Amino acid sequence: MKRAHANGLLLVAALIWGTAFVAQQTGMRDVGPFVFTGSRFLFGAVIVAPLAFWELRRLGRRGVFMDLRDLLASAVLGGVLFLGAALQQIGIMSTTVSNAGFLTALYVPLVPIAGALLLRERSHWSVWPTSLGCLAGTYLLGGGSLSALSVGDLWVIASALFWAAHVMLVGRVAARKGASVTVAMLQFVVVGVLGVAVGLAVEDVSVGALERALPSIAYAGILSVGVGFTLQVVAQRHTPAADAAILLSCETLFAALAGHLALGETMTPAQMSGGGLIFACVLAVQILPLWRAQRRLAASAG
């Protein structure tokens, strides 16, 4: 696959993920956040399942098999993913799609911060100024006051903590046997089962409501979870990490655009400045370390 084609697939994945925020909001006109979350991830698990089974057969031919420890690790990973997805879904009920997109992106700088503070990992210097920039961006998204952030904004910010924890864990779990797609499918199943179970226990669910919400659930599940994930896995094998970071970060911009076009959402100049600042900081914290590594490689090669 050519680099340009891979970049195109990543941009499509970002478009799907950004526009899925609209489906996540409209779908909850008929069902609650837990049923919506569980249903969408079960759809995603079905889409990813054929790739996971192919991966397991390939690994089996090399004598590599998933054991109980792998299954338990995937279950824990699914639990963390469930918390991130459910909290985000609860937040989307009472905030705008634009704010949800930008605030979810806060998980990007949270990952190296947590690595530095909790795991004693060395972080690039850009982590600290970009984190302050994200805080300033959040302040502006609240209209110039953190106290003006809605309850939904706070739920989405809380979900970013679990998205960050998930990013920190998923690489370690998937690397144990090199079964990234299988681990993804297993965690999707866990999220789906937990979401539906909690939803049936605490939410009012009817067949009619599920039928009305089905288009939104299918879009957020089949396209966002299933197709989006698959495009990312395929494309990132054929494009530089810097390209991938830029293109996937466009998810936040697509969310804001989709919120405006589909739902008529508007942002004040302060909110647009805040969203732009968060987007810029998210890009910087991913790309600056990559450029530094590339310069070192070039220097050593010279």
Give pLDDT tens digits for 26-73.
999 999 999 999 999 999 999 999 999 999 999 999 998 888 999 999
- Residue 215 pLDDT: 94
The residue range of the domain holding 128 is 3-301
Q: How many structural domains comprise the chain?
A: 1
Rounded distance between C-alpha atoms, residue 32 and residue 28, angstroms: 6
- Residue scoring higher pLDDT (151 or 119): 151
What does the pLDDT average to over 153-176? 88
Q: Which runs of consecutive H residues, i.e. helices, occur in the chain? A: 3-26, 33-61, 68-92, 97-104, 107-118, 127-141, 151-175, 180-202, 207-218, 228-235, 241-249, 251-263, 269-301
Q: What pLDDT is stored for residue 6 in this prediction?
A: 83
The pLDDT score that the predictor gives to residue 30 is 92
pLDDT for the residue numbered 293: 62
Q: Give residue 9's Cα distance to chain centre.
A: 17
183 pLDDT higher than 80? yes
* pLDDT score of 295: 65
Q: Which residue has the higher pLDDT, 244 or 10?
A: 10
Q: Is the pLDDT of residue 196 over 70?
A: yes
pTM score above 0.85: yes
Amino acid letter, 255: A
Q: Is the pLDDT of residue 302 over 60?
A: no
What is the chain's mean pLDDT, rounded?
87
Q: Do 146 and 121 contact (CB within 8 A), yes or no?
A: no
